[in-house]
Structure 1
Amino acid sequence: MPSIQEDTSPNAPLIRAREDDDNALHDGPTTPSALQHSGNAFIWALTVAACVSGLLFGYDTASISGMLVSIGTDLSSRPLSNLDKGFITSSTSFFALVASPVAGSLADTVGRKNIILFSDGLFIFGALWQAFTSSAWGMILGRSVVGFAIGGASLIVPLYIAELAPGHLRGRLVTVTLLFITGGQVIAYLVGWAFSTMSGGWRWMVGLGAAPAIAQIAMLVFMPETPRFLAKAQKEVEARAVLAKVYRGMVPDTSELIAETMSAIKKEILEEEEAHVQLKTSESGSCIPATLHSLLLHPPHARALAITCILQGLQQLCGFNSLMYFSATIFQRLRFSSPTLTSLSVAGTNFLFTIAAFHLIDRVGRRRILLITVPLMTVALVLCATAFSFVEAPQQHQIKVPESNADTIPNTRLPAIGILVAILLYVSTYAMGLGPVPWQQSELFPLSVRSLGSGLATATNWGCNTVVGLTFLPMMDLLTPTWTFVSYALVCLIGWLIIWHIYPETMGLGLEQVGDLLKDGWGVKESMDRLKATRRSRRALE
């Protein structure tokens, strides 16, 4: 096993890593002592600092709800039309879709940390532009800038944390991002409620989004680059220094953990370079960029891309964000006395059960938690659809025109309460499974395609997000609420079947180990066998 002082030449370390004991690499840099350690102050401080971007992500996507009902005639000296509102709302998700693959490509050149810094600059500019604009098109421009920032942050922050975190903590630390996102949504609802009666209060709603970004820029001074990026950039000394801080306190002597991790990283870099050369030779006439070519045509990479894009698409096409965007409209149609506060219960439930996911994801496992929660989501959607069938009236099912239909709703409150309970069940199970698990996407890609692969998967998320946002109300009109929610239930059912067949369990594995699962297939059986073996070993040690 190489020592910390070895491997000073750029090529010798990669060759020696290839010759290391394969069994040691298979076991990965996770000794029993490390597996029981909950992390040190350094790794938690880095996680919290990086996740401020998640807070901005959640705040800026949720603040639109309160802003639109408070603007009045402040923009362009007229009330906003439905077209204005549509452009203002959709511009954020559209430009997040554009930014994700761009950020993924740039991250391999300028580094993960610099993408976070650039996103903060966009968050500040976009928030202040929105606060001071006086026209509808100015607001659309500001929301577009924020969309660019969200697209970059939603990709890079989970990737940054995944590349820093020890394998046994990776799921929990990436899930902290979701805690900050859902917390940001709750804060946005509360700020919207606080400023809703103030003249020009909407300017404070959007302008306050600059404050966390300013704070994060100050934190970035103390945030290092990830050891994987540093190793790829041939900065091994810096990479080892970061790993020493990450593993500090997990075992009495961290040198073996550092050496094993560096050996695994270098072995992966060498294998990926060889695979890249072979692919380039076989497809020498291709005009596709080399990294994209490898991602699409090299089978292990293509399998990773398929899994991550399917999970990210399922996360949105199951209809969750239709509730986040239109829950107040739904609850107003159902004659709840305070639709906004009722909507806050949805955001609050999402936040609380994301905390549950934080505790479960590295104990239960990614695959198992999805196989348990997605069927419960399906049941909740069917219950919601059934309850809506008792609320709808013939010719009067349009959910977006609540006032004219009040007399068509039955006097009983049971269907409305049933819908609320079903929605909360749906949100709680989503928050534990489909909410956090797709964002573990970085762990499925090897280092050479990790940034671009994560960028394309994130772009899939934002593309499907845009589709759901545009189609929800038309579906409610054309299909009725009952069949709209049945459609989402069918998406969940199909998604569950796909997860069962192709998504391997990655809990507790090092990033370099995860790539081995997809070399010759989907790796589902191999991953479950490895998980059983690991649990037997732990029981034997205990």
Structure 2
Amino acid sequence: MSTAESEDVYSDLYSIISQVTSNTANDIEQLPYALTFKTSLIFVGATVGGLLFGYDTGVISGVLLSLKPEDLSLAVLTDFQKELITSSTSVGSFFGSMLAFPLADKCGRRITLAICCSIFILAAIGMATARTLKFLICGRLVVGIAVGVSAQCVPLFLSEISPSRIRGFMLTLNIIAITGGQLISYVIASLIQDIDNSWRYLFAFSAIPAILFISILDFIPESPRWSISKGDVLYARDSLKMLYPTASTHHVNSKIKQLIIELDKLRIYKDVSEPLLVQAHSPIRYVDTSVSGTSSPSNGKRLSSNTERNINTISSSSAILSSLREPTSNGVTSHRKKRHRMEPRTIRALIVGCVLMFFQQVTGFNAFMYYAAIIFARFDIKNPLLPPILIASTNFIFTFFAMYTMDSLGRRAILLRTIWIMTLGLLLCSVGFGHNRVSLLLTSVVIYVAAYASAMGSVPWTCVEFLPLNRRSFGASCIACTNWLTNALVSMTYLSAINTIGDESTMLVFAFFTVCAWFFVYFWYPEVKGLSLEEIGKVFDDGVDVHYVFRTYH
């Protein structure tokens, strides 16, 4: 097919679905969304990985406080060995994030999360029974792999199943789960700290949420976008009906058509036109969605005229997509020639996401989360786990602020309004360390954590929404890998840094990075509130249009 003919066919195709691509009035994602028990179970279940992420990263503070050298057949447990135990999870998470990319694309988001929970269970058993330092570090590496997979796959999954009107809310729900897991780990550590080998129980408890997730797996649908990218239109339709139980047949089928067209524009179809055509031309497998249950070839249900028209349009779309993939004279389709190229707008989106995630970690938050008990134990506090509980509680509570403002105020706005408060908190921390004043130190840490949780702790994880579907898993892995590399760097060097340059100077280094983060957000981070995943790409078409939303819709 010639270039001119291809352009004509595309023109005809886009004319057919013009009401879908150019007008969002009928977009299922723009309709008012009411949470039901079943949809709530889907979203809450999807965040179990985040809960385990938070628990297994936060639990180390209580573990280091109760872990004794003889428990690991050691004469003494050095600061360097503590750093190894702590940072090994971050190192494992880096590899887990790399593994998550091909796993999520090949097996699907839902099955990947199930595999992730299975790894959590195995790691929990291994860490709880560790008798040597090497075995414990290996267990932390394995749980880090699971943490890395969940950190990449949970926001990816949530971004693809959440309506655009509440996508920021749902993505922040994952952060709520993470901070809640951290808080739970501190509370449990405080309650059982007087029990012998309490750290073993802390590790063992992490298997419980993973077991619960696997038990409700049948109630969680696959991402409709992933299903369509694999050619399974029927499963995508069933998933949309589960996610939007009150939506009409027209809205569900319109969304399917829109996703098919958007996926083709991204050049991600690879050998899926045949399945699409088989399903789209098979009226016996399409049933009126007003009928509950899964369609069956034997039910003989006659379609309504509206449903038939919707399916015929899908069939026309699929046929045109198939014709566009006919082999050229060289025997290679034009789509396959380009599928390995990353578009400039995708590169820009990925850079923004990775840089923001770098600033999330290099500003020092996890230094407090991992080593808070050790830090405050130096001040001769009776229960050194109480300050960490206060810090984790602040983190948990103010994440709700991010949840309720991300979609109303916007991601960019809350970042610009809170990063400077983080800077202030770190400067006060430096003063508190310098004058050895526990009250000032604790107050300043709370200020810093409150500002961090309100934006910086949540927003970088939502950057996966910047990426097109054909690069979303890969991009999410890159963003997560950036997180874990920086996290490992901070956790592996913090105790050594405060022993070398002092606590107050270390806080000043963190404060310097918060200033850099503010300027990066001001010049490079765009606002995307209210945009569908398919429209966000326009923000990066020509550079990074940080004011696209306001100029276009306000």
Q: Identify whether the pair has TM-score above 0.5, normalized to the shorter chain.
A: yes
Segment of structure 1 superposing worse, 154-163 or 132-141: 132-141
Is the contact between residue 50 and residue 150 of structure 2 (CA under 8 Å) also seen in structure 1? Answer: yes
Superposition RMSD in Å: 2.7
Residue in 1 aligned with 2:44? 48
| Identical amino acids, percent of aligned pairs | 33
Per-residue CA deviations over 1:146-202 (Å, capped at 9, x if unaligned) read 011000011101111110010011111111111111111111112212222112222
Call closer, same or farther: CA 1:33–1:464 in 2, change over 3 Å: closer
Partners of 2:31 and 2:442 lie apart in 1 by 40
Is the contact between residue 17 and residue 263 of structure 1 (CA under 8 Å) also seen in structure 2? Answer: no
Residue in 2 aligned with 1:359? 404
Residue in 2 aligned with 1:294? 341
Match of 1:431 among 428, 446, 453: 453
Is the contact between residue 229 and residue 268 of structure 2 (CA under 8 Å) also seen in structure 1? Answer: no
Call closer, same or farther: CA 1:376–1:160 in 2, change over 3 Å: same
Q: Mind listing any 5+ residue stretches in structure 1 that lack a counterpart?
A: 1-12, 282-288, 392-414, 533-542
Q: Which amino acid aligns with 2:101?
A: G
Q: State the 1:15 CA deviation.
A: 8.4
Per-residue CA deviations over 1:6-35 (Å, capped at 9, x if unaligned) read xxxxxxx99876445557424436769955
Call closer, same or farther: CA 1:27–1:40 in 2, change over 3 Å: farther
Q: Which amino acid aligns with 2:84?
A: F
Partners of 1:335 and 1:29 lie apart in 2 by 62
Segment of structure 1 superposing worse, 151-160 or 515-524: 515-524
Q: State the 1:272 CA deviation.
A: 1.3
**Aligned pair 1:255/2:249, yes or no?**
yes
**Aligned pair 1:461/2:483, yes or no?**
yes
Per-residue CA deviations over 1:263-320 (Å, capped at 9, x if unaligned) read 3322221111189999xx9xxxxxxx9999534xx20110111011011111101111
Q: Which amino acid aligns with 2:498?
A: M
Q: State the 1:390 CA deviation.
A: 2.6
Is the contact between residue 71 and residue 200 of structure 1 (CA under 8 Å) also seen in structure 2? Answer: yes
Q: Which amino acid aligns with 1:418?
A: L
Partners of 1:71 and 1:387 lie apart in 2 by 28
Q: Which amino acid aligns with 2:258?
A: A
**Aligned pair 1:136/2:130, yes or no?**
no
Q: Which amino acid aligns with 1:182?
A: T
Residue in 2 aligned with 1:153? 150
Residue in 1 aligned with 2:55? 59
Per-residue CA deviations over 1:93-114 (Å, capped at 9, x if unaligned) read 1010111022112211111111
Is the contact between residue 130 and residue 206 of structure 1 (CA under 8 Å) also seen in structure 2? Answer: yes
Query: Which SS does the other structure have where 1:248 is aligned?
Result: coil
Partners of 1:476 and 1:20 lie apart in 2 by 64
Call closer, same or farther: CA 1:82–1:29 in 2, change over 3 Å: farther
Partners of 1:245 and 1:365 lie apart in 2 by 28
Per-residue CA deviations over 1:415-445 (Å, capped at 9, x if unaligned) read 3212211111110111110111111122111
Call closer, same or farther: CA 1:324–1:245 in 2, change over 3 Å: same
Residue in 2 aligned with 1:373? 418
Residue in 2 aligned with 1:471? 493
How many residue pairs match? The answer is 483
Is the contact between residue 28 and residue 255 of structure 2 (CA under 8 Å) also seen in structure 1? Answer: no
Per-residue CA deviations over 1:475-516 (Å, capped at 9, x if unaligned) read 323333222222211211111111111211111111111122
Call closer, same or farther: CA 1:313–1:181 in 2, change over 3 Å: same
Call closer, same or farther: CA 1:309–1:290 in 2, change over 3 Å: farther
**Aligned pair 1:319/2:364, yes or no?**
yes
Is the contact between residue 28 and residue 251 of structure 2 (CA under 8 Å) also seen in structure 1? Answer: no
Query: Which SS does the other structure have where 1:134 is aligned?
Result: coil
Q: Mind listing any 5+ residue stretches in structure 2 that lack a counterpart?
A: 1-8, 271-323, 329-335
Is the contact between residue 14 and residue 267 of structure 1 (CA under 8 Å) also seen in structure 2? Answer: no
Residue in 1 aligned with 2:385? 340
Residue in 1 aligned with 2:295? none
**Aligned pair 1:117/2:114, yes or no?**
yes
Q: Which amino acid aligns with 1:424?
A: V
Query: Which SS does the other structure have where 2:71 is aligned?
Result: coil
Partners of 1:417 and 1:79 lie apart in 2 by 32
Residue in 1 aligned with 2:469? 447
Q: State the 1:381 CA deviation.
A: 1.5
Query: Which SS does the other structure have where 1:377 is aligned?
Result: helix
**Aligned pair 1:208/2:211, yes or no?**
no
Q: Which amino acid aligns with 1:446?
A: P
Call closer, same or farther: CA 1:257–1:489 in 2, change over 3 Å: farther
Segment of structure 1 superposing worse, 60-69 or 306-315: 60-69
Q: Which amino acid aligns with 2:52?
A: L
Q: State the 1:222 CA deviation.
A: 1.8
Partners of 2:11 and 2:517 lie apart in 1 by 42
Partners of 2:178 and 2:262 lie apart in 1 by 32
Residue in 2 aligned with 1:8? none
> What TM-score results when the alignment is normalised by the length of structure 1?
0.83
Partners of 1:290 and 1:152 lie apart in 2 by 30
Per-residue CA deviations over 1:503-537 (Å, capped at 9, x if unaligned) read 111111111111222122212122222342xxxxx
**Aligned pair 1:223/2:270, yes or no?**
no
**Aligned pair 1:421/2:443, yes or no?**
yes
> What TM-score results when the alignment is normalised by the length of structure 2?
0.82
Is the contact between residue 86 and residue 492 of structure 2 (CA under 8 Å) also seen in structure 1? Answer: no
Partners of 1:516 and 1:54 lie apart in 2 by 30
Is the contact between residue 29 and residue 258 of structure 1 (CA under 8 Å) also seen in structure 2? Answer: no
Partners of 1:373 and 1:23 lie apart in 2 by 40
Query: Which SS does the other structure have where 1:512 is aligned?
Result: coil
Call closer, same or farther: CA 1:78–1:386 in 2, change over 3 Å: closer
Segment of structure 1 superposing worse, 71-80 or 350-359: 71-80
Partners of 1:117 and 1:274 lie apart in 2 by 25
Q: Which amino acid aligns with 1:440?
A: T
Partners of 1:256 and 1:80 lie apart in 2 by 64
Pairing of 1:62-77 with structure 2 (within 5 A): 62-72=58-68, 73-76=70-73
Call closer, same or farther: CA 1:87–1:384 in 2, change over 3 Å: closer
Q: State the 1:38 CA deviation.
A: 4.3
Query: Which SS does the other structure have where 1:387 is aligned?
Result: helix
Segment of structure 1 superposing worse, 48-57 or 377-386: 377-386
**Aligned pair 1:331/2:376, yes or no?**
yes
Query: Which SS does the other structure have where 2:219 is aligned?
Result: coil
Partners of 1:334 and 1:97 lie apart in 2 by 34
Partners of 1:470 and 1:125 lie apart in 2 by 25
Is the contact between residue 86 and residue 370 of structure 2 (CA under 8 Å) also seen in structure 1? Answer: no
Residue in 2 aligned with 1:492? 514
Partners of 2:27 and 2:347 lie apart in 1 by 31
Call closer, same or farther: CA 1:107–1:432 in 2, change over 3 Å: same
Call closer, same or farther: CA 1:56–1:471 in 2, change over 3 Å: same
Call closer, same or farther: CA 1:461–1:525 in 2, change over 3 Å: same
Call closer, same or farther: CA 1:194–1:222 in 2, change over 3 Å: same
